[in-house]
Amino acid sequence: MERSNAIERPRNVPFEPNGKVQSFEIILDRSDGPNGIGVYSPGELLTGHVRLELTQRLTVSSLDLLVQGTGNAAWRLRTLQGDELVSDDEVYLNEIAELVGKRSYEMVTLSPGEHVFPFACDLPFELPATFTGSYGNVSYLVKVVIQADRNEPVHREPCITTNVFMVESRLPLEGMANHLNSYRIDYKHPIKTSALTTGSNSIKVSLFMPRRAYDIGDNIFVNLNLINSSRKVVRSMSIALVMEVEYRVRGRVNTERLIVTDYEDKYVVRQQENRQWRHVGLTVPRFIPPSGLPNSSIIGVRYWLVFKAEVERSQEPVQLRTPVLIGLQLPDEIKLDTIENSLAGEATVADGASPTVGSARIIYQGKQEPRVDQQLPPAQQQRPVQQPLYVNVSQQRPASARQQQPQPQPQPQPQPQPQPQPQQKQLQPPMPQNFYQPIKGPQQQPEPQEQQTQQRPQGSPDSQVITMRFADELDDQNNPYGLPQQLA
C-alpha cells in the first residue's frame, strides 16, 4: 500500500512579479500558528486584507476572493491487475466574494501604486479540524484571483495568490462524564519458562489515571507500579500517546498509527524488584485534531495511551492500552482536581488480576515485529514532557542474595551509634511548583540513600523532548510500541 501523489499538503506560495503586478498577497489578522499561519475556531470571523501593488494601470474584469475548506483521502492498492488508485474528497467550506465592481460584467481600472482590499468571512460551526496524514488531509485556504481584461496584452492568464489558515475545534463536555472519573488497570502478565508457566513467574502492572479526557495543552498524568516476580529482567518501560487515523473511501478502509508523544524509562528492573512512577506526565501538543474528527466522513481519529515493558529474552513484551479523549473543553476546576487526584492516586497490583480490565487489552502478541508507522509531520511539534517523579522500591531478597552492607567506621566516642537497619523507602523528589509549565532539562535528583538496593543507571534521563517528524518508513527503534501494521 503506497501513499498517492494526489494528496497535496496545502502551503503558501509567494507571488512572483508578473507584468504590471509587482506584489500580490493575502494578509490575515492572525498569525499565532506554526510558521505564522492563522488559527481560527468554527463560528469565528475570518478577517484580513488583500494587498496589491501595480507598476502600471490595469483594467480587470474580476477580483474574486475564495475561502475554501476541503478534505480528501487517497492511496494506491497493489492488485493482481496492477496499481489501483482509491480516492475521495468532500467540501466543508466554499465562499466567494467580489472585491471590486458591483456587477460581474463591470470593468474596473486600477491605477498604479498600492491597493488594499479588506475582507471578512463568517466560518460555519460545523467545520472539522485541520489535519495532515499520510493518506489524507483536511485543509483550509484563502485564494484571490485577478482576471484582467481580455484586451490587456500582458495578462492573458489570471493572477492567483493563496494563504493557508488552520481550524482548531473542541469537543463538547456534555455526555463525557464517565471519562472524567479516575481509571485503573491491573494486569498480570505470565512469563513462560521452558514449556511451563507458573503463577509466581509473572510481571504485574498497575496503571492509574485521574481521568481519561484531556484538552489541548493538558498533561496526561500517570501513576504506575510494576512488580517483577519473574526470573527475567525488565530492560525498559515506555508509555506513549498514539493517534490512530482511519481513512474511509467507498467501503475501503486504510488505517495508520502515529506517535504523538512518548516517554521511555530505561531503568533496569531486576528479579524480585519493583519500579514505580509517580506523577509522570505527557503533554498533549497543540494543532492535533480532536478525537473522532467530527464533521468529516472520510477521516476518523482516535487516541490510545499505550504502555510497554521490554522483557529480556522474551518475544512477548508486556503491553497495555486504554482509550483517551483528546480535545475536550474542560473547565479549570477539573484540571486542578486532576493534579490532586494524580498525587493521591494509588497504583497497586492486586493478586489474581484479570489480564483485561475495562477497555484495556494487550494490543500485540505476535512473534514477528510489525511494520512501523509514521510519526507526526513537523507542523505538529510536541512540547517538552512534564518532569516525571520516580519512586523505586526493591523487594526483600534472600539473605544469601543480599549485598553486604558496609560496616560503620569506628568513632572516637565511647558509645558509637549503631548502624540503622535497611528499610524500604520511597525516594520522592519535590513536586514542581507549576504543573502546567513544561520543565526543560532534568531536575536535581536526591542523593542515593544507603537503604536503596539499586541505583539508577548513569545518564538515564528524567524527561525527554521528542521532535515529531514525517517519514514514509522508520526503523523499529522509532516505533517501540509494537503497533499492528496498516489495514488495507
pLDDT at 222: 92
Domain 2-167 fold is: Immunoglobulin-like (2.60.40)
Across 252-256, average pLDDT: 93
| Per-residue pLDDT tens digits for 440-450 | 333 334 444 44
pLDDT at 183: 86
Name beta bridge partners: 72: 89
The values of phi and psi at residue 101, to 5°, are: 80, 145
Quickly state the pLDDT bin for 456 (edges 50, 70, 90): very low
Reading the block at residue 338, the C-alpha cell is: 486532576
Domain ranges, ordered by start, for the chain:
2-167, 177-396+461-478
Exposed/middle/buried for 483, CB within 10 Å: 0-12, 13-18, 19+? buried
Reading the block at residue 242, the C-alpha cell is: 498514539
Equal fold, 2-167 vs 177-396+461-478:
yes
Q: How many CB atoms lie within 10 A of CB 240?
A: 22
Q: How far apart (Å, rounded) are the C-alpha atoms in residues 333 and 337?
A: 6
* Whether 341 contacts 210, CB under 8 Å: yes
Looking at per-residue pLDDT, the higher value among 307 and 360 belongs to 307
| Per-residue pLDDT tens digits for 375-424 | 444 444 433 333 334 333 333 333 434 444 445 455 555 554 554 444 43
| Per-residue pLDDT tens digits for 346-373 | 543 333 333 322 233 223 222 233 333 3
Q: How many CB atoms lie within 10 A of CB 18?
A: 13
Instruction: Kindly tell me if the per-residue pLDDT of 96 is higher than 80.
Output: yes
Quickly state the pLDDT bin for 60 (edges 50, 70, 90): confident
With 0.85 as the threshold, say if the pTM is over it: no
* Whether 163 contacts 65, CB under 8 Å: no
Q: What is the CATH number of domain 177-396+461-478?
A: 2.60.40.640
User: What is the residue type of 291?
Assistant: S
Q: How many residues would you count in the chain?
A: 488
* Whether 267 contacts 457, CB under 8 Å: yes
